[in-house]
Structure 1
Amino acid sequence: MEMQIQKDDLIKGIQKRFNEAYPFLKIEFFKKSHPNRKPSPKSELINPIEPIGNLSKFDCSGFVDISGNRTVEMLENDFWEKFGLPVQVFRQSGNMWIETSLTDDWTLARQNYEGQQFSVPLSERKSLDDRLEDKRMDTD
């Protein structure tokens, strides 16, 4: 599954499309990259109403592969290599968002599943699993 990115896309639009694919994950954009296995400082967070074309050091149009079998590390590397933008994936855990910096080697699908396990009551999981599976079948 690929996500197309254009130079006039706002950060919040990219975030919304990513979150539609992975409801228990979110992506944040930062001014500077974070050290390996370390969290990104909140002071470096980029305002989500910024167009990506104002931030990128490279050509701002392209595609990013957000398939479930790709790791967080791969996704973060893609944004850096293609757009010169440091990003960090966060996973929902109850009513909190935690950085995945210690589990960047997990796939996006696994991260999303773990977020679901810690955020959705057991009684609601089957219904949500069915809706997510229907959505995946529509995009394949």
Structure 2
Amino acid sequence: MSMHISPNKSISDLQNAFNAAYPHLKLQFFSKAHGENKGSFAKFMIHDRNTTLAMLNPELREGTVSIVPETKTWALEQAFETEFQLHVQVFRQSGSIWLETSVSDQLTLAEQEAKGARSLLSFDDPTIAEEPGDYRDQE
């Protein structure tokens, strides 16, 4: 998938497009950057989904971000950062909550998506083997 980035697009436009391709993942936008394997502080999260990208970066130029299942989580976050100066963090669904994927930045989007999907399976089903918990992603 290619995601078109332009100043007049809103956060929700990008979030919806990303979520359509990866239903158990979501993009969150922040006002400050973060490092690899580091989380973003909640106080910097942009909550207004109608915020335009131009409001986050007044000098934003149009372009595209190529997103394929083999893309590493950190590589996607870095593409937004270096190409558009947009600070994003990928979150993964874990049951009824969303986890910031900072500790698992080296996983691909496909691997993150699979972990998110598995988190919704009923472990009462004896045919499903329970995956060991990854408590490090609970930030």
- The one-letter amino acid of 1:41's match is F
Q: Residues 73 and 57 of structure 1: is their aligned pair in 2 closer, same or farther, counting only changes over 3 Å?
A: farther
Aligned to 1:136: none
- Secondary structure of the residue aligned to 1:97 is strand
Aligned to 1:34: 34
1:90 to 2:91 alignment = yes
Post-superposition Cα deviations, 1:12-58, rounded to whole Å, max 9, x if no partner, equal: 11101100000000000101012332221111011321100121254
Aligned to 1:104: 105
- Cα distance in 2, alignment partners of residues 71 and 36 from structure 1: 11
- Cα distance in 1, alignment partners of residues 12 and 51 from structure 2: 8
Aligned to 1:6: 6
Q: If the length of structure 1 is used for normalisation, what is the TM-score?
A: 0.81
Identify, as 1 or 2, the structure richer in helix. Answer: 1
Aligned to 2:64: 63
1:50 to 2:46 alignment = no
Q: Percent identity?
A: 37
1:117 to 2:118 alignment = yes
- The one-letter amino acid of 1:116's match is A
Aligned to 1:81: 82
| Pairwise CA RMSD | 1.6
Contact 2:36 2:74 in 1 (8 A): no
- Secondary structure of the residue aligned to 2:33 is coil
Contact 2:6 2:60 in 1 (8 A): no
State the Cα distance separating 1:113 from its structure 2 match. 0.5
- Cα distance in 1, alignment partners of residues 43 and 25 from structure 2: 21
- Cα distance in 1, alignment partners of residues 71 and 35 from structure 2: 20
Aligned to 2:137: none
- Cα distance in 2, alignment partners of residues 24 and 121 from structure 1: 16
